[in-house]
Chain A
Amino acid sequence: MSGPSLMDSLFQRTLEDLIKGLRQQLIGEQAFISKALEEIRKEIKSTDLSTKSTALLKLCYLSNLHFHDMSFAAFHALEVLSSPRFSHKKIAYHAISLSFHDSTPVLLLITNHLRKDLTSTNEFEVSLSLQCLSRIANVDLARDLTPEVFTLLSSNKLYVRKRAVAVVLRVFEKYPDSVRVCFKRLVENLENYDPQILSAVVGVFSELACKDPRSYLPLAPEFYKILVDSKSNWISIKVLKIFAKLAPLEPRLANRVVEPICDLMRKTGAKSLLFECVRTVVTSFSEYESAVRLAVEKIREFLVDEDPNLKYLGLHALSIVASKHLWVVSENKEVVIKSLSDPDPNIKIESLRLVMAMVSEHNVAEISKVLVNYALKSDPLFCNEILGSILSTCSRNVYEIIVDFDWYVSLLGEMSRIPHCQMGEEIENQFIDIGLRVKDVRPELVRVARDLLIDPALLGNSFLHRVLSAAAWVSGEYVEFSRNPLEFMEALLQPRTSLLPPSIMAIYIQSAFKVLVFCLHTCFVRGGSTAGVSASASYESFDDLSVENGADSTVAHGQTCTSAPITNESIVNLLKLVELALSPLLGSHDVEVQERARNLLGFVDLIKLEALNSSGQEENDSERKGVEATKIIRLVHDAFSKELGPVSLTAQGKVPVPDGLTLNENLGDLETICGDIELPSSNTFSFGYPSEEKDVSSFSNLQIKEDSGQSNESTSLLAEHRKRHGLYYLPSGKSEVISNDYPPANDPALQGDNNDNASDLVKLTAESLVPKRKPNHSKPRPVVVKLDEVDEKPVAVKQLESRDDSLSGAVRDILFGSEDILPTSSRSNLPNSNRKGKKKQHMITQVESKENVVDDGNSSSRRRKDHSHGKERRHRKKNAEERNETDRKEKESSSNHPRRHKSRQRAEEPLKVPPQTSVIPDFLL
């Protein structure tokens, strides 16, 4: 292809032509653009720089607004950049800032251009290149251009200097070693009085302090001065952000700063600054009663304001306070609850969060009832928001606030019937989780499951399928609590189950299997040949269990056992029903469904003879076969009657690696094997048989036996097993034992009115703070099985790690002047650690030498009242740093051993780690 001719560049379309053309295209815009792109590709190869730059400008436009790739022009942009004309340069820089990123191949070629412009005498060229550097700098650029940036940090042109300050943030981030070079000059700029510079510096520090506040504590005096003197709201806001991070680390600082912040809060007219003060106080100064009171006053002004923005922010601030001062929320609860019906969904969600914060075990039932009524009336989105927050609040800390599980389980059932409900998965998890953890609630759980299963209408709602699968599982697993197992069979095998997805279908079939075995067992094994035996007979097994358990709930369970009789006829019908319902599934395309259906039908075939025979009075033959079939039933029944215990998700990690098994450290290649297989979402629990040994038939048995202290053979075996696999089990004291005089869950006075007036909720939430003491011992809170480690979330660990990055390491080195603070920082990974080491040493000696000079003269006059002696002040700061370093070293050496000792303890309770108190000398104020 020949290059574009002179004619082409003469008649080149300008950007304006392009935009005008675009505006005229009502349809066919794409065609117009691709034609324009074609032109651009041609023009950009021109040797004429103006043609080239115009093409580049057009390309920028199309890329920025019409998402067209401009990476092909990267090299052309560099060519335009080398133009001597400023207007070309500007276009080139614009293009580069828009399109270059870390993996742009020509990125390295730009270094010299940038260096040239950074040292230019034209301040606009310098500014353009700084701007560009702030967008595209990578490790190499940051490293190579650090000296130039360093020089510009003290440029006498304000316009350039503020940009140099702003660019430092990116340079530090990409190349932490540059901190050693530039940090001191950056700090010097903090003492500048020009608002332009100050706003840039404070911005940089607020970003830096966000990542690692502790490193910047030594600069607190400078920030304090800015806070007190600042006339600009922008700067004040940024400084407040810094203090919000610093204050929690150093109580003395907090003491000192809280008053100026309150002053600011009282005086300022700007809402933005006022809000920042409020937020700072409620996040970081929540121990200061008077400050919080003032902040709350201001929050109330926000809440009652007409402006939805202020209202939203008021609610937002309340939700921050709520964690520490719940009284503030309840003081404002009228507004909060009124906001539940605000036209703005964001405001509604904020207020929902606050209502949930007011929930306690005393009012959870009532609040949930009212909220469910809200959910029924609101739009799908908010409805699910409400349901989601009820679910997560109630399940928090292993259902900490739930006392009456019967109520909660029926609430779950009710929630799943709400038309917009899409929380099926969470409800499913909780159904199963509660079933496994809370033994006493199982009869009610089965009742709720029955109501769900038996309703054919629910099968048509795909959001409910997950709930139904849990209900099916419950019905199979805890069938012994059901009043009428035959009803379950019909529900599980009803024709509309064909609407279910195969995976859930399989659960249905498996549950049907369990129910069937239970019925057969009841009829033949337990009932013997007596026809018309009541299913309640089979409860013996359960009753035994509960007696052994020592619980006084036997009576309650006995009452539920008034069930329909299972006769031989009904068994025959049942078997027919199974055959009828499952035969079509033998040809199912889903292997799981097919296999389970085949299993069940095979079992039916085995049993059928027995059932038919015993109904058909043929004594001789049935004698022999009956025994066989009974044996089979008994075996299968035994297999199913093993109780499933909760197993910690992390249990597998505790299995020791057997000898001779090598595990791959890096599972990266697994991805190529597994491809797009989706991992199952992690529930809080998986379930399975806790062990393979015969004696550990059930998890709860184990506990019961241990409690009763029977020392027979099985317990000794158990003990041994436990010793070996102890990690899987709960420590025996860990399971929550609840005293019988638990406060009541239901307040009969309030139960009557369940209309959803906001006033109700107001009344209810009022009770959250006044614990009711009505003596009502009707129902103790049942035992909730807890696993120790899953239920505590490891929160703090991450924070500790993130602090140790190399940037903060470098900053600390500068500010604290020590090299032994962060042994784990990744400094050693950097390529030129050698050179850096030398530099650092040099720097330290320099500091020390200055130190000595200053120490002689000035060590006594520590108070600073003069701003003019900038230099002297700096020296003193170094002085302070030096002392700090020695303090720290001393501490380190003295506390080295005990700390190592404590490391295990820390791992166990990561939240209680006392923040490493870096000793801060009297640089404070």
Chain B
Amino acid sequence: MGIRFILMVNKQGQTRLAQYYEWLTLEERRALEGEIVRKCLARNEQQCSFVEQRNYKIVYRRYASLFFLVGVDNDENELAILEFIHLLVETMDRHFGNVCELDIMFHLEKAHFMLEEMVMNGCIVETSKANILTPVQLLEKT
């Protein structure tokens, strides 16, 4: 399924967005997010952005105060996922204008909608910023 989940977590370890592509119960989610936050937030800039978990791996990247963490299958291309994260940030940036944690907090549903434009069922379906944002902006007017 490629991408298993996408998380945005701030420096304090609070989840700001969570999108899962397979069903997990609340308890499983809580445990998983706790574990990932413990593992990834402790790492520094000199260390690589890939962390192996049980049977998948996490590719993460930090933008200002926000960590973008993507859980992917083991044979997924790590660098491509990094590019995907960057694309996501750029897209949000273009939409919100200098995006920050608060934008995502107050527009969680919209952020989800953008993600849904880009990823479906764990597969990346759209990589053009214009294509992603057109429906988002159209729907904003209605």
Contact = CB atoms under 8 A, between A and B. Distances in A.
Nearest to A233: B80
Contacts of A880: none
Interface stretch (A305-313, A627-635, A659-667, A731-739): A305-313
A271 B47 contact: no
B64 interface: no
A414 to B, nearest CB: 29
A131 interface: yes
B78 A163 contact: no
Contact of A61 (B44, B75, B108, B113): B108
Contacts of B47: 308, 343-347
B17 interface: yes
A166 B120 contact: yes
Contacts of A124: 135, 138-139
A134 B121 contact: yes
Interface residues of B, number: 49
Contacts of B94: none
Given A241-B75, A313-B79, A64 B127 contact: no
A272 B121 contact: no
A67 interface: yes
Contacts of A61: 108
Contacts of A327: none
Contacts of A200: 120, 123, 125
B79 A312 contact: no
Contacts of B21: 135
Contacts of A135: 21, 121
A308 B18 contact: no
B71 to A, nearest CB: 16
Nearest to B108: A61
A135 B18 CA distance: 14
Contacts of B116: 131
Contacts of A807: none
A69 interface: yes
Contacts of A313: 50, 78-79
Interface in A75-106: 86-87, 90-91, 94, 101-102
Contacts of B120: 130-131, 134, 163, 166-167, 200
A845 to B, nearest CB: 34
B46 A86 contact: no
A806 interface: no
A16 B106 contact: yes
B126 A196 contact: yes
A86 B142 contact: yes
Contact of A275 (B30, B79, B121): B79
Contacts of A102: 23
Contacts of A94: 109, 112-113
Interface string A599-619: 000000000000000000000
Given A102-B23, A313-B78, A203 B46 contact: no
A347 B48 contact: yes
Contacts of B125: 162-163, 166, 196, 199-200, 203
A637 interface: no
B26 to A, nearest CB: 5
Given A124-B135, A167-B121, A234-B124, A65 B26 contact: no
A343 B83 CA distance: 24
B51 interface: yes
A319 to B, nearest CB: 12
A127 interface: yes
Given A312-B50, A344-B47, A234 B112 contact: no
23 contacts: A57-B109, A65-B17, A65-B108, A67-B26, A67-B29, A90-B109, A91-B109, A94-B109, A94-B113, A102-B23, A124-B139, A135-B21, A196-B125, A200-B123, A200-B125, A203-B123, A207-B123, A237-B77, A276-B77, A309-B78, A313-B50, A313-B78, A346-B48
Interface of A: 16, 19, 57, 60-61, 63-65, 67-69, 86-87, 90-91, 94, 101-102, 124, 127, 130-131, 134-135, 159, 162-163, 166-167, 169-170, 196, 199-200, 203-204, 207, 210, 232-234, 237, 241, 271-272, 275-276, 279, 308-309, 311-313, 343-347
